[in-house]
Amino acid sequence: MTEPPTTPLRVLLVDDHAMVRSGFAMVLSVEDDIEVVGEAADGIEAIEQARATHPDVVLMDVQMPRMDGIEATRHLVADDLGHVVIVTTFDRDDYLFDALQAGASGFLLKNAGPEQLLDAVRAAGRGHALLAPEVTRRVIGRMAGEAAWKEGGDRAERPEPAGLAHLTAREREVLVLLGRGLSNAEIAADLVLGEATVKTHVSNVLAKLHLRDRVQAVIYAYEAGLILPTEE
């Protein structure tokens, strides 16, 4: 008995340079599990296209006319119009910091290879995030660290978030390892578990804490004080 066909991931390309959009489209369109459903040249068009095409993933540039990619991301995430992956030329902490605050599920630099682009689209389409680049961990650490420590005081004096009480001991361990940026395979090795079991624990953590993806799990772990901003 043959497996039923999987519905392709629907992708919207947003960049003010037509050649960049064409390049991304060429890489993505040859994949059986990915379908490019639209293009936009600025943030306003991105929102319009997202409402019309219902993408699973939006590849979003940052610097664009009329409305930039950060502001567009805020609108798309607020209206649940797709998972946003920022794709930018500039390796700048402020862009990445603002993008993650706006709700982006991850980012890539435009000099990334085709395999990284495909990995990012597939990860975002599954509700995960691409956290591999070291700068992402640096930015998330900065963002969560500022949120957790801006009021000052000893971490021991700060009450734990109520949501942690809903986690089992194992799920709490998984959240800590998510906070350190580990993949499912790395978590499985660390806890001596199967990857399928880890995947279930990760899904339970996200559901119980009402988190959208692994980026939010990393931030939550920092804000909850489970990971120090300076911890490796």
Which is higher by pLDDT, 155 or 96?
96
Q: In whole angstroms, give the CA distance from residue 111 to residue 52.
A: 30
Average per-residue pLDDT in the chain?
81
Distances in whole angstroms, Cα of residue 72 to Cα of each of 15, 22, 104: 12, 21, 10
Q: In whole angstroms, give the CA distance from residue 217 to residue 122.
A: 19
Beta bridge partners of 85: 59, 106
Residues in the chain: 232
Kindly indicate the confidence band of residue 141, based on its pLDDT and cuts at 50, 70 and 90.
Answer: low
- Record the pTM: 0.68
- Residues 58-95 have pLDDT tens digits of 999 999 999 999 999 999 999 999 999 988 887 677 77
What's the confidence (pLDDT) of residue 115? Answer: 85
Kindly indicate the confidence band of residue 157, based on its pLDDT and cuts at 50, 70 and 90.
Answer: low
| Res 158 pLDDT > 90 | no
What's the confidence (pLDDT) of residue 5? Answer: 47
Specify whether the CB–CB gap between 173 and 191 falls below 8 A. yes
For 153-223, CATH number out of 3.40.1710.10, 3.40.190.290, 1.10.10.10, 3.40.190.10 equals 1.10.10.10
Q: Nearest 5°: phi and psi at 121?
A: -65, -45
Q: Which of 22, 163, 16 is nearest to 89 (CA)?
A: 16
Highest mean pLDDT among 47-51, 80-84, 213-217: 47-51
Of 28-37, 58-67, 92-101, least confident by mean pLDDT is 92-101
Specify whether the CB–CB gap between 8 and 49 falls below 8 A. no
- Residues 159-201 have pLDDT tens digits of 677 788 899 999 999 998 887 777 788 889 999 999 899 989 9
Task: Specify the DSSP class assigned to residue 81.
Answer: -
Task: Specify the DSSP class assigned to residue 6.
Answer: P
Give me 26's structure tokens: 């060429």
The domain spans of the chain are: 9-130, 153-223
Strand bridging mode 83-88 / 34-40: unpaired
User: Domain 9-130: which topology?
Assistant: Rossmann fold (3.40.50)
Q: In whole angstroms, give the CA distance from residue 215 to residue 203.
A: 13
Give me the percent of the chain exceeding a pLDDT of 90: 41
Same fold, 9-130 and 153-223: no
- 52-89 burial, b if ≥16 CB within 10 A, otherwise e? ebebbbbbbbbebeebbbbbbbbbbbeeebbbbbbbbe
What's the confidence (pLDDT) of residue 2? Answer: 41
